[in-house]
Amino acid sequence: MVNLEIKQLVNKARFPESDGRIILNVLYLPIGFILLFLRGIFALILMLLGQVLPETPPIQSFLTNLACICFGITVSVENSKKKEHVDVFVSNSLSIFDHVAVSKAVGTVLPLTKTPLKNLPAFGIPDLGSVNNTDTFKKNLESISKEKNVPIYVCPEEASTNGRALLKFNSKYFKFFQKVQPLCITIKRPLFDLSISTLKSTCLNDIIYFMYSPFTNYSIKFLPSMEKKCLSEDEFAEIVRENIASELKIEATNFSSSDLSEWRKRQIVEERRRQLDRANMQYLNNRMANPELARMAAQVKEVLPHVPVTAIYNDLAFTRSVDTTITNILEGRVRFVPESNSSNATSSSSARPESSSSCSSSSASPTKGGNAAAPSQISVAASTFGKTATERTRSFQERKEQLIAAARRRYIEKHNLEKNIPLQLL
């Protein structure tokens, strides 16, 4: 079987790309909103009843049926004759409501994984702590098992996928159980084929689409029970996983729930960065559509080639002045990351002959103002480090003025302006 990439375990889109499916979903839209409204009312009733009703098996069974109505869950069972009287059921994980479907199929169960209904006491979903804290988890599990006296339901993947492969099982769960019965879960939404979950969806998003969809069918298949015997936890977990993957005809990958979680985070961050880049590019294009702003930005870029165009446009949008923007950049009021590309190298190399020729001409005939060195040749480094804050501030102001004067002089020479016309500085 071909090894799957981790990105293939998560759906990116909620709706199918098929034109026929899209038309069906558009036609279904008003019906879906009506169902969402009615099921939302039932969900509020479910939450209220879950808070006030006692934790007894009949009540939990009633609330499970009500939850199936609220979220449009239907359950079909395969190989029901293979169902055995075991203390633990193990299955793959596909959605936030797997435990509801399993409870509907086998009776009331005690899920050990976190669910959206964990705050409803009548559902019997306790907080046993982290399974990695073995002693505390085992103590809480033994206590709650004696109190509830119902089978335990475990999803060792610890994260939901789209069902194309199985993640690694957390073998620490199998330290507490000697015999388990594996279950295979598949989910279908006929006609509309809406994804159960997506890359960027939240728990609330998935719940809303459960209530919006006409129904979500869970198919649960019982596999023969398995005993741990003399196997280690890792070996037993892997054998159970291979059996479930083989029955579902999917791959048992080397990815864990933590790998999937980290990949999700990276994808979401990258998507936000791409959206921000597109927004900045659109903003820049809108700015560049202004010919006057583009002309001024080009002038600033000639004087300060290392400054990104985006930063120049952003400041020019407020100042509407080439001189003021140059001053703002030199004085550090504009934040940017300096560019270091080939264009800068080209401009600097093209500037060398001019500087050399100007040097030779200046040596032959000095200018009125004395030696006018190129801005790139001016050293503004302080000769000594000031002993007091006042001396350091004065040194900084002097070096800043030198940089501004150098930039002004370069700008004047670049555009052949009269030197007796002062540049307005803010």
- Report the CATH architecture of 290-360+375-414: Orthogonal Bundle (1.10)
Q: Determine the average pLDDT of the residues in 238-261.
A: 92
Q: How confident is the model at residue 215, as a pLDDT?
A: 93
Beta bridge partners of 188: 217
Domain positions in the chain are 6-255, 259-289, 290-360+375-414
- Check: CB of residue 153 under 8 Å from CB of residue 104: no
pLDDT(386) > 70: no
Q: What is the pLDDT of residues 66-97, one digit of tens each?
A: 999 999 999 999 888 888 888 899 999 999 89
Confidence grade of residue 371 (pLDDT, cut at 50, 70, 90): very low
Q: What is the pLDDT of residues 301-341, one digit of tens each?
A: 888 888 888 788 888 878 888 888 888 888 788 888 887 65
> Among 327, 412, 324, 330, which residue's Cα sits nearest to residue 372?
412
Q: What is the pLDDT of residues 204-245, one digit of tens each?
A: 899 999 999 999 999 999 999 999 888 898 999 999 999 999
Indicate the Cα dihedral angle 353, 354, 357, 363, nearest 10°: -130
With pLDDT > 90 as the criterion, what percentage of the chain qualifies?
26
Confidence grade of residue 425 (pLDDT, cut at 50, 70, 90): very low
Lookup result for tokens 């006042």: 390
Beta bridge partners of 166: 252
Q: How confident is the model at residue 286, as a pLDDT?
A: 67
Q: How confident is the model at residue 242, as a pLDDT?
A: 94
pLDDT(5) > 50: yes
Instruction: Point out the least confidently predicted range of 4-8, 145-149, 250-254.
Output: 145-149
> What residues contact residue 313 under an 8 Å CB cut-off, 6+ apart?
284, 287, 288, 293, 297
The type of residue at 217 is: N
Tokens of 358: 């100007």
pLDDT(300) > 60: yes
Q: Determine the average pLDDT of the residues in 155-182.
A: 89
Q: How confident is the model at residue 417, as a pLDDT?
A: 65
The type of residue at 241 is: R
Higher local confidence (pLDDT), 18 or 234: 234
Higher local confidence (pLDDT), 299 or 380: 299
Task: Tally Cβ neighbours within 10 Å of residue 120.
Answer: 21
Q: How confident is the model at residue 385, as a pLDDT?
A: 58
